[in-house]
Amino acid sequence: MAFPANRLRRLRRTETLRTLVRETRLTPESFIYPLFICPGSGIRKEVGSMPGVFNLSIDEAVKEVRAARSLGVLSVILFGLPEKKDEVATGAWAENGIVQKAARAIKSEVRDVVVMGDVCLCEYMSHGHCGVVKANNEAEPQSLGAAAAAPPATTEYEIVNDASLELLARTSVSLARAGVDVIAPSDMMDGRVGAIRTALDEAGFENTPILAYAAKFASGFYGPFREAADSTPKFGDRRSYQMDPANLHEAMREIELDVEEGADMIMVKPAMPYLDVIAAARDRFDLPLAAYQVSGEYAMIEAAARNQWIDRERVMMESLLCIRRAGASMILTYYAMEAAKFLA
């Protein structure tokens, strides 16, 4: 029957009624809190383009994880700022790398927390790209040793796929040895999930799951992150390996390939501008699905709120709710602690 017999506003009349029939709910357990780990001690340096987000020394990171855990946020993902960079991303896979040390400290100090390790090379490469770089007139490097040449000074270069897999696999094993619970490759090299799965299994970490950044787009929303992680490419861009924002069907192919190679969980990045991709992935795949509310999304909310153009708390929670409604079972968000406080 139509109006006046049907009145959908009946169930919107009070907050308790709205809560009763709410279809989508947020919980602190669904948040994954990104942390940027830097050398030193007692360091809590705010990122200029991300108010409220900090580069943290390991001791401060332990405190932050403990505080997040007390609010019900069970998972963190670690990004590292190494003391030195080179052309083979040594800081990413070194046994005493910054993330490796942070993982050991966190796991020894905070109980029942899931520590994820972002596996990418951009923060550790002197050129800032996510893989090995060669000039177009050079032979393609076939191994780690061959990949040590200096990056090209011109734009005539290529991000080499297969040689990068060795570094990514080595990094993953190193992180697993340090106690990282979940390996999260974000580089977008072809075949990286399979290479990492093989390396983990051969090293005795067959029970360590992989959360693949399966559909990571070449987005303009990453700018503040690059300041936080000091990962801006010194030349060129990342469009030859990150996805074209125009392509939804290709995103499904990328996810499908990662699942076939052994991904245990999948991710779409960014989140809000790609809600259709999240929804399509949710409809097609049965794996746990994460979405990354990236730095640019966070920075836009903060900037608008500081200009008093929006209600900060309301927009923060609405944006997270919409990501969840689109189908994400997990949300990587810099608002993890604040949203958890609000939900409490």
269 catalytic, yes or no? yes
Phi, psi of 323 (to 5 degrees): -65, -45
Which sign does the torsion angle of CA 225, 228, 231, 232 carry? positive
216 catalytic, yes or no? yes
Q: The tokens of 226 are what?
A: 């690059």
State the distance between the two ends of the chain, measured CA to CA, in whole angstroms.
40
Name the strand (E) or helix (H) holding 32: strand 31-37
Q: The tokens of 98 are what?
A: 């910054």
C-alpha closest to that of 279 among 326, 315, 322: 326
**Active-site residue identified among 45, 84, 101, 216:** 216
Q: The tokens of 198 are what?
A: 């093989």
For residue 182, give Cα distances in angstroms to 13, 74, 194, 254: 44, 13, 15, 20
- As to burial, measured by CB atoms within 10 angstroms (0-12 exposed, 13-18 middle, 19+ buried), residue 72 is middle
The three-state secondary structure class of 143 is: coil
Tell me how crowded residue 95 is: count the other CB atoms within 10 A of its CB: 9
**Active-site residue identified among 45, 63, 134, 269:** 269
As annotated, the active-site residues are 216, 269
